Every structure is written in C-alpha cells, then in structure tokens.
C-alpha cells in the first residue's frame, strides 16, 4: 500500500494498478527493494510519471523501513511522515487503507476543490484545508469522507463542468447559485 500511494502522486489509480503488479512481482519486500537496481525500478514505474524522484524515494523509504522500523511499515502518522516520499496526505491514506485507522482527512485535488466550493474552507494549502475539515467533520466519519470526496469529485463536482444541478449536496454549496 505504501509504495502504491507513493506512485499515485500526479498519477491515476488505474495507471498505478497496472504498474504495481510488475514491480511487486520482483520486489515485494523492503529487503528486495533495497537490493534493486534503481534503473530497473525507474523502468518499471516510468508510466506513473516522476519516475526518477519516485524511484529514489522508494529505495530510501525501503532502506529506512529496514533500518529504523525492523522491516515493518510504521502504523502511526508521526513515523509514517518520517519516511522519504510520505507526507501528511499519503500518511492519511495509508492509515485509512492499510491500517483501517483514519487519523485525518487526505486532502487530494477532489477534497480541496469540494471543500472550497461548498465553503468548508477558503484555504488553498492542503494541510490548512484539512484543519478546516477536521473542525467540521466528526472523527466517526473520517473513514468514509475520504472515499466520498473522491467519488463526488470524479462523478459530480468535477474541476471543469461540474454537474451542479444533479448534485445531492447543492443546497449546502456556497458555489451553487
């Protein structure tokens, strides 16, 4: 999950899901990953974009997991964010999807756009948007809200040509007129 989340930056889930089987067939543990030739990793993950930086982060992250966490991906926000290539958004996704223990709200492009349009936040920085959302959304909804933002952003509240007339939350939306 951690490597998939790293690859998903500026990339579609569909592309990541097509790329990871080849990567994990060869390198399915941090120990195997650190022994990999960086050029081989670059070649495999090239379709995901930013492959040079992502390859460096994958290797550095794998090394840190081995050296600092006995080969086990940490299961808390603070330690996850110490890993190369893992910021707050990625740590939120990993805590939610891998550990089923959401700690916050992963603010991706959809969550940011919807939070701004509806009026939950006027901020542009994802961490500030998350702070605004956390003040308004009870913790019991953290698990579902990440998925709902993505779904709503893909199906209804798209960046261009949002389907406002069909939106189930339009009566709450500051952007809907």
Instruction: Tokens for 23, please give them.
Output: 């990567």
Rounded-to-10 torsion of CA 18, 20, 22, 27: 180
User: Residues 16, 48: contact at Cβ < 8 Å?
Assistant: yes
Catalytic residue from among 54, 64, 89, 112: 89
Catalytic status, residue 89 = yes
Q: Which residues contact 9 (CB under 8 A, 6 or more apart)?
A: 50, 54, 90
User: Residues 75, 68: contact at Cβ < 8 Å?
Assistant: no
Catalytic residue from among 108, 139, 140, 170: 108
User: Residues 101, 95: contact at Cβ < 8 Å?
Assistant: yes
Displacement of CA 59 from its chain's centroid (Å)? 19
Catalytic status, residue 135 = no
Q: Which residues are catalytic?
A: 89, 108
């Amino acid at each position: 999950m951690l490597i998939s989340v790293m690859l998903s930056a500026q990339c579609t889930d569909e592309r990541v899901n097509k790329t990871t089987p080849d990567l994990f067939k060869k390198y399915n543990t941090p120990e195997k990953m650190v022994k990999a030739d960086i050029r081989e990793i670059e070649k495999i993950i090239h379709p995901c974009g930013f492959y040079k930086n992502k390859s460096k982060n994958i290797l550095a992250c794998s090394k840190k997991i081995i050296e600092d966490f006995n080969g086990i991906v940490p299961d808390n926000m603070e330690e996850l964010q110490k890993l190369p290539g893992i910021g707050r958004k990625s740590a939120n996704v990993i805590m939610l999807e891998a550990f089923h223990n959401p700690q916050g709200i992963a603010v991706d492009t959809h969550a940011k756009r919807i939070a701004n349009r509806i009026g939950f936040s006027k901020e542009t920085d994802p961490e500030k948007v998350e702070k605004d959302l956390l003040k308004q959304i009870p913790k019991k909804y953290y698990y579902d809200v990440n998925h709902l933002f993505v779904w709503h952003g893909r199906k209804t509240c798209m960046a261009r040509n949002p389907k406002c007339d069909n939106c189930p939350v339009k009566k709450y939306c500051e952007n809907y007129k």
